[in-house]
Every structure is written in structure tokens, then in C-alpha cells.
Structure 1
């Protein structure tokens, strides 16, 4: 009996050992899974922080290089508004006031301010501290108030781009004179003006109110902004109704067969086509076949509408599909036709999602450059467009042109325009989020 009891005890102990081992192995596997989960979370957080750091570095670099575009160096110049130069007939003729040599009056004032400057070369350098458009500022003052003709006035005019860069600290004064665009005598003149309080950085209204220019201090984004507005207006007018109606037909009315499957596949593929392909299509068809004007918002809007259509159709179909079938069944149950079901019930409920997709598509179109380059919207446009058929450019193309300019002052203009474009894109995406949050329904 004792021997048998001992044998059973040994058997029970032997059976418990594998069970304990299995428990230990299960616990080890569980620990490894938890450790793997922690590592995965760490990798995800690290990726997010790395992306945020890179994004912050990119935006910080743009802001650092572009914030000075919003201010412009101005010089205070006392000038005698000689009536013999401005209005020789003395009748206040607007044409005479417009044609007067205001730049010459400013040059004369500089010669009187620095009488020691002699020699043709030095005088040219002295005149060069002023912007070539400084006379336009003086002309605007005279045209606004012709009664100041014949008086001494002190006005603020824009400096040249090199002087502007010097005042903003982009030109190192400690470099040898041969390595600087601004020479020692020019620095001395600016220091003399600054000592008298005649140098000041003012808000650069020209940047927001003028078109493009060869002179950086006279260049602005208003012409490109108006061109972008006309282009996006054409894009919205064409893409929104066509895209929404196409989505309604495919989702609510089209039979499910090979043809509709083929159409859906092609729509999804078009959403992934490089944008420059749409530019080539516009170049070949709209310009080559139909003869529409080059570099016009009309053609640019048509090209961007083709590019935006797949995005709007896909977003609209997803919004329509998100409406519960019970809404359709209830409307059909009370006697509504299929068209009434869609127009009175389904479409209003899906409209917030459709609007969100449309805004995102328009934001994508706002940032496009490649298709517009193909239809000639890379032209140098000074005048602000007055309609959809006038020559124009858009903000992304304007940024592209300025980035390729050799003058240092265009670097800050480029970054400033990028900041404005990013602000528009952020506002459009924020509007999409607000619309979704405001009108979205939970079913």
C-alpha cells in the first residue's frame, strides 16, 4: 500500500511539471506580445514626432525666410515739386501730371542731399538707392492732391532691392567690397539717411496690391491671386455639377454590370493620373483643336476641372453610400419616385460629405502647377486680369517664377507667397472640417 501511494504521488508530480512548463511558456509568450505591442506603439509615436519635426522645420524655414517679404524699406526724401516739371502749362491737365518726370525730381533731391557726390558713376550709384518705381509713389501723391505742386514735401518712397536687403541684414557689411552688391559709398549714404531718421521699414502693401514685376520691390501677388480666383471659379462651375450628377447616376440609377464596373475602374485610375497628363490634354485639345487663348484662366479652369472630377465623384459616391438604405426605403414606402428619393432625401443628407470632398479637390487644384505650365500660364504677367479670357498666372506658378529669379530679394518674395498659399490651403481644409463637423449625422 505504501509503495502504491508513493508511485501515484510520483506520477502526479510528473504530470504537474509539464503543466507548469506550459504555463511558463504561455506567460513568456504573453510578455513577448506585450513587449512587441509597446515597441509598435513607440515606433508609431516616433514616426509621428519625426513627421511633426520635419513639418515644423519646413514651415519654420519658410517663415524665417519669408516674413520679411511683408515689410519694405522706405527712404524719406524731401523734394520740391517744381511746377515747371510737373505742370508747365499751369492748367492741371491730368495727362501732364501723369507724364511728368517725378523720378528726375527725386534724383535732384538726392543730389542736393549729398552735394559731395560727383562723377557720373557715383551719381548713378546714388540714384540706385531708390527704387525705379519711386517716381510712381511721388506721382500718386501729386495726383491725390494737386494743390501740393510748387511746395516742398517730404515723402517716403521705396528703396531698391539691394538697399532693402542691406537694411534687413541679408547683405554682410563685413565682407570685402568686391564681394558685396552694395558698395561702401552706398552704405555710407544709407547710414547718413538712417542717422537723420530717414530709413524705415514699413508694411509692404505693394506685395498684396500689385502684379508681377522685374523689380523685386515692386512685385506683388495680387495679379496671381486674381488669376487663381478666376481659375478656381471656372473649375468649380464645371467640376461640381458634373461630378455630383455623375456620382448620383452611378450610385443610385446605373445598373450593376460590366460597363459600370469599367467606368468605376477608370474613374479610380484617373484620380491617380499625374497632373501633367491633364496639362498635355489641355494643350492638345483646348489650345490645339479649339483654339482657346493661351495663359487664360478659362483654359486653366477647364484643365483643373478635368483633374478634379475624379476626386469629387469618388467623394460624392462615398457620401451617397453613407446614407442608410432605410431612408430610401421609407421614402419609397410613402410613394416617392426614385428621383424624389434622391433629390428630396438622399442628396440633402449626403451634401455635407459632397461639399467636403469638393473643397478638398479645389484645394488640390489651387496648389497645382504642372498642368498650368503646359497651357502657357508661365508667362510674365504684369497687369491684373479683368476676366477669364485675359492673360493671367496663378499663385503656384508665380512662386515657380520667383524661385527661378536671380535677385536675392525674390527669395523672400517666394517664401512670402508660399506662406500666403499655405494660408489659403489651410483655410480651405479647415472649412472642409467645419462643414463635416457641422452637418455630419451619426446613423
Structure 2
């Protein structure tokens, strides 16, 4: 029995009723823990399914079926001063015939369809870069066409009826003969990272999309970072507290939750419609992404400035520092790690945005990497959208591979943000 306030019945904490109540509370705690563990398990399970599905579908795109051909271009009719004028289609076809000496004319169409359509141009470009290849026999590595690449990777059953396969029996025979000669290999597909987009899956790469994303994020950072910090400093340190500033703060918080497609429509109307900026340019993409990132940076910067103890302000003012010296010499440096962390997270979010970039035209078919902010380009999310919409089966694995590359960039950016926060963050 325990003493209780006057007018209340005494409580026996050792009674059976109290034991039952304690048991019920402990059981409720355990159920809550179980619910949390189950929720985390579901989340991790779905994440594992996502990553596993992407990996299983996309790992094939990281290798490419190639054929090694020894070509002797010394006897070909090639003028070294006008290499572009040579008939490279016939030259390359004559050299490819050496892989199958008994090739008959009716089978030539099926045979040459096994190699990428751009084989003559690949050989021509390599010769233009190194004319010593015209002096004698040299080895050239040429990508196989997408159906042969899928055959080599076992993506369809060669025992199916011929009318149910993209590769006919004659091509399978040619392929097996090349394998027996040791001419077929499947090295790492560096073209996935160093080639621009192409209508042929075996040649398509992410170089143009990576360059476009880089330029767009660079523009986004150069605009949103200084403007966001300046706006946050003014609102937190200088702006009077009245209805007008309250309205601004409410709008900033609301803008952080606005769907990204709205910013795309804004960019389409203002930057392309009114200002006449070039369509599909990373400059426009960066401007739109900076509008999306600004609210996040402002909110993070204001929270970081608030976290600095008021004693820092008072001490600096006490030794004669002016208000702007207090901010730029003491408060801002102490809050900069958190500001950088929020900025990187905001840029990582902008990197994965698709809708606003589609609206401003950064989904065009671009066959070369962008060399600046005014040249037409794509971005990683829009390149994934383009490949996912392609009817070619070879783009299925490349779409998953591109998603894995995008996730890799996002993981790296978030890892940098976590490192900066743990390495430089001050706790008061």
C-alpha cells in the first residue's frame, strides 16, 4: 500500500490488477517494436526487390559482344589525303568476309546484319585517328548487332522455332563458327559511359546524358547556392518581423512542396517563351532546377543559422564587431557544414527530376555530348525515359543499367553530404 493524496483511495502496486496493467503496457511496447521492425523489414525487402530486379535486368548492358577482325587495309583504295571519301562500306564488308571464307551471296544479307550498322564508320574514325593502320594487317574490334549480342548473352532460346527468334538458323551457324575461331568476346562495355545516344542499342551510351546533367547541375548550383544563402541571411538576420515577411516565409515553405512539373511549366513559359532561351539547353534546365532547389536551401540555411548559439552573436558584438562581421566571420562559417549538406541533398534531388526537363525539351535525340550550357542535351532521367520508351529489346537492359548509374550518382552525393555533416558539424 502507498500513501495517496487526500480524498483518493490508496493504490496497491503489488495487487493482481496492477500486475495485469503493467503486463498489458509491456505487451503494448513489444507490439510497437514488432510493428516497427516489420515496417523496416518491408521497406528493406522492397528496396532489395528493386535493386535486385534492376541488377538482374541491367547487368548484361555492362558487357558488349564484340568480334575481332584482322583487316589489311594496305591494299584498299584509300587516299590518305581524303580518307572520308573512301568507300568504307565495301572496304569493311570485304574484310569481314574473311571470317567466313565460304560465304555465299544469298547469305550475305543475313551475315552482314550480324554486325552493327556503324561498323564502316567505326573503322573509318579509327583510321582517321591513326593512319598507321593503313600500313598492314591490324586487328579491329567491332560491336555485334543487338540480336547477336542477346544471342551471346543467352537472352533467348536458340532451340525455339526460327520464326520466333530475331536470329535465324543461318546467323546462328555463322556465330558458332566465329566462336570456334575465337573471334567473339564480351568485354566491359565502356561505350555505355563514353558513347552518346544512338538508335542502335549496341552503340548507345550515357555520355551525352552525363554531360547534360553535369552542366544543368552546375548552373543550378551557381544560382541556387549564393541566392539561397543570401535570402536566408536576410530573412533570418535583417528582415523585420511583420505580415509581409511572414507571407514570404509561408510561400517559401509551400514552394518546397510544389510538384516539379509546375516548375517545368514555369520554365517553359518564362525561359523559353518570354526570354527566348534555346530549347533543350542545360542552361534552361539548370534555371528550372535552381527554382526547385532554392526553397530547400533557404529552409536548411535558416535552420542552420538558428542553431548557432546566441552567445556567439553577443560575444562578437561585445568585442566591437559589426553586424555583418558577426554573420560572415562567425555565424555563417559555423553553419556552413549543415548548409553544404542541405545543398548537396537538394542537388541530388534535382539530379533525379524528370518532369521539368521533359517540358523544356531535354529529351531530344542527341548523338554527341554537350560541350556547354547552350548546346542541346539530354539528362540522365530523360535518357532513361527515352530508352524505356524505345521498342528495341536491347534498350531494356540499358534502361536498367542507366537507372543503376543514376542511383550510383545519388548514393555518392548523399554519401558526401553525410561525410561533410559528420566531419564538420558542430554540436552546441
Normalised-by-shorter TM-score class: over 0.9
CA contact (8 A) 2:76 2:91 kept: no
- 1:343-382 pair list within 5 angstroms: 343-382=328-367
Instruction: Name which of 141, 146, 154 aligns with 1:161.
Output: 146
Q: Which residue of 2 aligns with 1:7?
A: none
In structure 1, runs of 5+ residues without a counterpart are 1-17
Alpha carbons of structure 1 residues 414 and 251: separation in structure 2 relative to 1, 3 Å: same
CA contact (8 A) 1:304 1:365 kept: yes
Q: Does 1:254 align with 2:246?
A: no
- 1:6-45 pair list within 5 angstroms: 23-45=15-37
In structure 2, runs of 5+ residues without a counterpart are 1-9
Q: Which residue of 2 aligns with 1:12?
A: none
Q: Partners of 1:112 and 1:201 in 2: how far apart?
A: 21
Shift of 1:143: 2.9
Instruction: Name which of 63, 82, 100 aligns with 2:55.
Output: 63
Q: Which residue of 1 aligns with 2:73?
A: 81
Secondary structure of 2:77's match?
A: helix
Q: Which residue of 1 aligns with 2:385?
A: 400
Q: Partners of 1:380 and 1:290 in 2: how far apart?
A: 24
Q: Which residue of 2 aligns with 1:226?
A: 211
CA contact (8 A) 2:58 2:398 kept: yes
Q: Which residue of 2 aligns with 1:391?
A: 376
Q: Does 1:209 align with 2:201?
A: no
Number of residue-to-residue matches in the alignment: 419
Runs of 4+ in 1 over 4 A off after TM superposition: 18-22
Q: Partners of 2:133 and 2:13 in 1: how far apart?
A: 102
**Residue-by-residue CA offset, 1:265-323 (whole Å, 9 max, x unaligned):** 11000000000000000111111111111000111110111011000001101111110
Secondary structure of 1:64's match?
A: helix
**Residue-by-residue CA offset, 1:132-184 (whole Å, 9 max, x unaligned):** 12223322442344234263333221100110111011122121110100111
CA contact (8 A) 1:110 1:126 kept: no
Q: Partners of 1:112 and 1:429 in 2: how far apart?
A: 52
Secondary structure of 2:15's match?
A: helix
Q: Partners of 1:71 and 1:31 in 2: how far apart?
A: 60
Alpha carbons of structure 1 residues 284 and 148: separation in structure 2 relative to 1, 3 Å: closer
Q: Partners of 2:315 and 2:138 in 1: how far apart?
A: 78
TM-score (norm 1): 0.91
Shift of 1:21: 9.7
Instruction: Name which of 89, 107, 123 aligns with 1:103.
Output: 89
| Structure of greater Rg | 1
Q: Partners of 1:53 and 1:113 in 2: how far apart?
A: 49
Alpha carbons of structure 1 residues 82 and 128: separation in structure 2 relative to 1, 3 Å: farther
Q: Which residue of 1 aligns with 2:301?
A: 316
TM-score (norm 2): 0.94
Secondary structure of 2:357's match?
A: helix
Q: Which residue of 2 aligns with 1:290?
A: 275
Q: Partners of 2:327 and 2:101 in 1: how far apart?
A: 82
Secondary structure of 2:175's match?
A: helix
CA contact (8 A) 1:206 1:219 kept: yes
Shift of 1:116: 4.1
